[in-house]
């Protein structure tokens, strides 16, 4: 295979990548309809054009019959201009425009048609021909070819610059490079752009799934907790009106924080989550007076966490740890600085957590997944040395607001 030079090796690699890209395009989820078919058309046309270009190169190198060589040149002439046209259509799609109504598409199509006609006529009248030693000779008509190529490039460059703000950074790079490279490279670049889009789509779907989980967690507020709280307030109104007012205020803050979390996207300041947790615990302490004691030691609150991170952990501790037969339940919430982040530690003196008891921990699993997705955090649960349960949440340093600590006791 001595005829395989650097260009031919690149073309062969592009063919293999194009075939792989076609498979990925049709099996990938999240790409449907017009973009899928357009990307497939770009890849297919690039692969076919590259195959015929390789065959033309091989035919000339091995000096097969002249008619066959001319046929390969005709085929390459017809196929090579197609991928740039399709890439332009993809550019318009990325900008939210229809190629059927675009002046750029009409101008480029007209110039491409003239370019193909120029080469075909040049082949027919001998301006482009194959010499007896099997080299391709270009006559004076080659000047027209370059003029048309420059005109097409200028139109495309103008189209990209005019739509610059509508494109993402990756799209700008790909489209600028693709229109100044051979057609077999264009298919590879567009496939890379498609893969980048798929990765972004997958990431966005995971983020949305995490947000949906947060909303579900909010909607799963225990009905009996709300009912019992309202009944406690009802009896307190007669027994201790001032305390009833405080509980109503705390319960209102708790509900407001829950409903705010439904619409919350991304992370929130830890101070907001701490306020939500305090409101919840104030309500629970009013309900279980003398049975529930809480301690906060949070010198660092200048970092961000997903909404509903600490409050559900504390709620889980009370739900599983509060037992009148076992005496009062003590719960502590602590923040500690770590070399590469911040740790939030929630401990309780309940009966303890046994990882092998087979009890599902839906609330903790929900928090663990949202921490991982939204801020690359972690959650670990383990038995407490003095009895009870210890839950440790780690938030990486990039989520810290980098402000000096402030005691919050």
> For 260-316, what is each residue's pLDDT tens digit?
766 666 788 999 999 989 988 988 898 888 899 999 999 999 999 988 899 889 988
Confidence (pLDDT) at 30: 56
> Does 362 have pLDDT greater than 50?
yes
| Measured distance CA(255)–CA(374) in Å, rounded | 23
145-148 — which CB contacts under 8 Å span 24+ positions?
145/115, 145/118, 145/119, 148/111, 148/114, 148/115, 148/118
Give the mean pLDDT of the chain: 80
Q: Specify the 3-state DSSP secondary structure of 301.
A: coil
**Please, which residues have CB within 8 angstroms of residue 194's CB and are 6 or more apart in sequence?**
21, 24, 25, 31, 35, 39
6-205 and 220-399 in the same fold: no
Using CA atoms, how far apart are residues 304 and 307, in angstroms rounded to an integer? 9
Task: For the domain made up of 220-399, give the CATH fold.
Answer: Heat Shock Protein 90 (3.30.565)
Position with higher pLDDT, 144 vs 165 = 165
Question: Which residues, listed in sequence order, are joined to residue 338 by a DSSP beta bridge?
Answer: 341
As beta bridge partners, residue 379 has 393
Q: Answer yes or no: is pLDDT of 1 > 70.
A: no
pLDDT at 190 over 90: no
Q: What is the pLDDT of residue 42?
A: 80
* Band of residue 65 on the pLDDT scale cut at 50, 70, 90: confident
Share of the chain above pLDDT 70, in %: 80
Lowest-confidence region among 10-14, 155-159, 199-203, 278-282: 199-203
CATH tag for 6-205 (out of 3.40.50, 1.10.490, 1.20.1070, 1.10.287): 1.20.1070
Span 252-261, mean pLDDT? 77
Look at 151 and 33; give whichever has higher pLDDT: 151
Q: Tokens 């390969």 belong to which residue? A: 72
Residue 393 exposure: Cα atoms within 13 Å on the Cβ side: 30
| Closest listed residue to residue 148, CA positions, set 99, 89, 186, 107 | 107
**How sure is the predictor about 345, in pLDDT bands with cuts at 50, 70 and 90?**
very high
Kindly give the interhelix angle for 183-219 and 34-61, rounded to the nearest 10 degrees: 150
Alpha helices in 103-240 (DSSP H): 103-124, 142-162, 169-178, 183-219, 223-239
Q: Which residue has the higher pLDDT, 329 or 69?
A: 329
The pLDDT of residue 405: 40
Contact in structure between 286 and 243 (CB atoms under 8 Å)? yes
Going from N- to C-terminal start, the domains of the chain cover: 6-205, 220-399
């Amino acid at each position: 295979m001595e005829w395989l030079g650097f260009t031919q090796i690149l073309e062969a690699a592009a063919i293999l990548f194009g075939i792989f890209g076609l498979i990925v395009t049709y099996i990938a989820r999240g790409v449907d309809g017009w973009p899928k078919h357009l990307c497939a058309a770009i890849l297919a046309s690039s692969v076919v054009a590259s195959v015929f270009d390789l065959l033309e190169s091989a035919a000339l190198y091995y000096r097969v019959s002249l008619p066959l060589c001319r046929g390969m040149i005709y085929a390459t002439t017809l196929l090579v201009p197609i991928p740039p046209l399709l890439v332009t259509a993809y550019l318009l799609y990325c900008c939210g425009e229809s190629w059927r109504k675009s002046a750029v598409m009409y101008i480029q199509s007209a110039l491409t048609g003239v370019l193909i006609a120029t080469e075909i006529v040049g082949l027919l009248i001998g301006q482009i021909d194959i010499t007896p030693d099997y080299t391709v000779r270009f006559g004076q008509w080659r000047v027209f070819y370059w003029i048309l190529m420059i005109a097409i490039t200028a139109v495309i460059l103008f189209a990209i610059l005019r739509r610059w703000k509508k494109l993402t950074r990756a799209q700008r790079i790909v489209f600028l490079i693709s229109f100044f490279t051979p057609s077999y490279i264009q298919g590879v670049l567009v496939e890379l752009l498609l893969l980048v889009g798929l990765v972004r789509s997958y990431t966005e779907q995971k983020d949305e799934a995490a947000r949906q989980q947060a909303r579900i967690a909010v909607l799963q507020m225990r009905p009996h907790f709300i009912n019992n709280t309202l009944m406690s307030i009802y009896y307190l109104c007669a027994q201790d009106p001032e305390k009833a007012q405080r509980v109503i205020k705390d319960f209102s803050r708790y509900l407001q924080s829950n409903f705010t979390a439904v619409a919350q996207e991304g992370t929130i300041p830890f101070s907001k989550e701490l306020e939500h947790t305090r409101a919840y615990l104030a309500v629970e302490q009013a309900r279980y007076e003398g049975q529930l004691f809480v301690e906060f030691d949070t010198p660092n609150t200048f970092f961000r966490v997903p909404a509903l991170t600490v409050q559900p952990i504390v709620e889980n501790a009370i739900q599983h740890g509060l037992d009148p037969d076992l005496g009062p339940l003590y719960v502590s919430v602590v923040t500690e600085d770590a070399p590469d982040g911040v740790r939030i530690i929630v401990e309780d003196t309940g009966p303890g957590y046994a990882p092998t008891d087979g009890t599902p921990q839906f609330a903790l699993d929900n928090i663990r997944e949202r921490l991982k997705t939204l801020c690359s955090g972690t959650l670990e649960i383990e038995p407490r040395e003095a009895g009870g349960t210890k839950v440790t949440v780690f938030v990486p340093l990039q989520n810290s607001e980098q402000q000096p600590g402030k005691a919050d006791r």
